[in-house]
Amino acid sequence: MSIYRNAVWFVKGLQEYTKSGYEAAAKHFAPADLDVNLSGRSFMITGCNSGIGKATAQEIANRGGTIHMVCRNKGRAEAAKDEIVERSKNQNVHVHIVDMSSARQVWDFAQNFLQSNAVHVLINNAGCMVNQRELTEEGLEKNFATNTLGTYILTTALIPALKKVEDPRVVTVSSGGMLTQKLNVDDLQFEKGTFDGTMAYAQNKRQQVILTDRWASQHKEIHFSSMHPGWADTPAVQTSMPSFHAKMQSKLRTEAMGADTSVWLAVSAAAAKQPSGLFFQDRKAVATHLPLAFTRSTPQEEEKFLAALEEFALKFKPQ
């Protein structure tokens, strides 16, 4: 990664991505934006048994929305569900056990889900940062399989159903770390050079932002957005980035602060008035590239990336 990009990004992060950055931004929030009744609307949230995903589910359940929790670990998911129900008094919270790193499982789940359920909003929150190169049972690098391909397959599978409901939305939880990365379409599996889990994660997050932009241009009936939650104190940060967590702990946002923009994008009328396909931070659309960072990809590179994803997706799609 470019030393310049990393340095500019870290300085930006200290100013904007921390707890104090959120508190400064929140002075300009409109509290009424989240004063909504979500009864009758269905929200699918991936990776929500802890951290930002769980906080997002809690806020939506508090407002009466039906929650479909898509999680990998049954025990943790059920415990999170019980807590969400207890706090919200909302019984419409459902658990679905899916490993987002398994392309076949994601396809199977989406197709089965749509046979008896509607969905108004998909929140692609699940993610991982595996620091040693690891392959899934399907032979895919695990970060790519979870963060990019799983997100692509689930969203693609749900798009036809989303087009049938009122005010459909797709929110993808990306990361400001993607600002350090230019799309590298020639090494999606991170097979070349020394493996770096943080870099792989940031590359996947860049891919999610590109996907959001492309989906928005292809499917005008749906409102697509991606977002950066800021630097939040979550179990994932503690386990995947222990040294960063130890140094920055006092400056990190709470899980609820990290979830705020995701919730705002998923439920507020104000968010739906924003153009589709943008990248948000603290309820505002922000640039997807740092100044002079040379991280923009060409249309040809993006087409090659999308074609590769489609090839992977079709390879594992049930016949």
Q: Which amino acid is at 246?
A: A
- 224 class by beta-carbon count within 10 Å (0-12 exposed, 13-18 middle, 19+ buried): buried
Question: Per the domain annotation, does 256 fall within a domain?
Answer: yes
Tens digits of pLDDT across the chain (319 residues): 578 898 988 889 889 999 999 999 999 999 999 999 999 999 999 999 999 999 999 999 999 999 999 999 999 999 999 999 999 999 999 999 999 999 999 999 999 999 999 999 999 999 999 999 999 999 999 999 999 999 999 999 999 999 999 999 999 999 999 999 999 999 999 999 999 999 999 999 999 999 999 999 999 999 999 999 998 777 777 787 777 777 778 889 999 999 999 999 999 999 999 999 999 999 999 999 999 889 999 999 999 999 999 999 999 999 8
Question: Per the domain annotation, does 146 fall within a domain?
Answer: yes
> CB under 8 Å to 309, separation ≥6 — which residues?
148, 149, 152, 211
Catalytic residue flag (residue 17): no
Return the pLDDT at 13: 86
State if pTM tops 0.85. Answer: yes
Q: Coil, helix or strand for 294?
A: coil
Return the pLDDT at 242: 78
Return the pLDDT at 229: 96
How many domains does the chain fold into?
Answer: 1
Question: Per the domain annotation, does 16 fall within a domain?
Answer: yes
Question: Per the domain annotation, does 279 fall within a domain?
Answer: yes
Question: Which one of the listed residues 17, 22, 152, 201 is annotated catalytic?
Answer: 201
Return the pLDDT at 234: 78
Residue 233 has what DSSP assignment?
Answer: -
Return the pLDDT at 41: 98
Whole-Å CA distances, 211 to 56, 124, 228: 22, 12, 15
Question: Per the domain annotation, does 74 fall within a domain?
Answer: no
Whole-Å CA distances, 253 to 2, 22, 92, 178: 26, 8, 29, 19
Provide the residue range defining the domain that includes 111.
3-28+53-62+102-316
Return the pLDDT at 224: 99
Return the pLDDT at 226: 98
Place of tokens 């589709």: 276
Question: Per the domain annotation, does 47 fall within a domain?
Answer: no
Return the pLDDT at 61: 98
Question: Per the domain annotation, does 89 fall within a domain?
Answer: no
Domain harbouring 172, CATH code? 3.40.50.720
End-to-end Cα spacing for the chain: 40
Question: Per the domain annotation, does 71 fall within a domain?
Answer: no
